[in-house]
Amino acid sequence: MAESKPGFMELPPVIPTKLIVFGGSAGRHLSGDVSRSLGIEEGKIEVQRFADGETFVKILNNVRGADACVIQPTCTPVNDNLMELLLVIDALKRASAENITVVVPYFGYARQDRKEQGRVALSAKLAANVITVAGATRVITLDLHSAQIQGFFDIPVDHLVAGPVVVKYIMEHGMGEDVIVVSPDVGNVKRARNYAARLNSPLAIIDKRRPEPNISEVVNIIGDIDGKNCFMFDDMIDTAGTVCNGAEALIARGAREVNVCATHAVLSGPAIERLEASPIKKLIVTNSIPIPEEKLISKIEVVSIADLLAETIHRIHCHLSVSELFD
Residues of 107-126 as b/e, b for ≥16 C-beta within 10 angstroms? Answer: bbbbebbeeeeeeeeeebbe
CA distance 37 to 279: 37
User: What are residue 143's phi and psi, to 5 degrees?
Assistant: 45, 65
**Dihedral of the alpha carbons of 193, 249, 234, 78, in degrees to the nearest 10:** 160
**Residue among 115, 208, 282, 299 flagged as catalytic:** 208
Is residue 2 exposed (0-12), middle (13-18) or buried (19+ Cβ within 10 Å)? exposed
Is 226:254 a contact under the CB 8 Å cutoff? Answer: yes
CA distance 168 to 175: 10
Is 44 designated active site?
no
CA distance 183 to 232: 6
CA distance 42 to 8: 38
Active site residues: 208
